[in-house]
Amino acid sequence: MTVYTYAAGRIDGCQYVGHTGEMTTTTLPLLETSVCCTPLTREAISPQAAEQLARTLKAIADPARLRLLSLVAAHEGAEACVCDLVEPLGLSQPTVSHHLKVLVDAGLLSRDKRGVWAYYALVPQALDTLADLLRSD
């Protein structure tokens, strides 16, 4: 019976003893170390970009915030008044305003104050930029 050196050092050798009681070993050739590593095909994300991306992902990692993005996008002109978002979301106005502030701080929505109401709009290309960072190709 043949035992490969890699396994022989990790498993009790008597497990490899054949019915004849003899054990043989075969040493496998090592490959060059450069063969196992593939080269980068595009630039990796920088530490600063990783921190920004993490902040953005944290902002959208909440079901209420994802729904807010969807609700704003569904409104005419991809813009909605905070008063239009409270009822569909089923949360209080202060809670909705807090979630909207988080999305604004993450750069996904813009805020425009008109009289006593605040209107929120999708930041052009913000979601596309996020998708590009996550794309695997």
CATH 1.10.10.10 residue ranges of the chain are 47-134
Enter the CATH code of domain 47-134: 1.10.10.10
Residue 42, both tokens: 């595009």
Place of tokens 């909605």: 80
6 vs 129, residue with greater confidence: 129
> Tens of pLDDT along 21-80?
666 677 777 666 555 666 666 777 889 988 888 888 999 999 999 999 999 999 998 899
**What angle separates helix 63-74 from helix 47-60, to the nearest 10 degrees?**
80
Q: Is 125's pLDDT higher than 70?
A: yes
Q: What is the pLDDT of residue 61?
A: 93
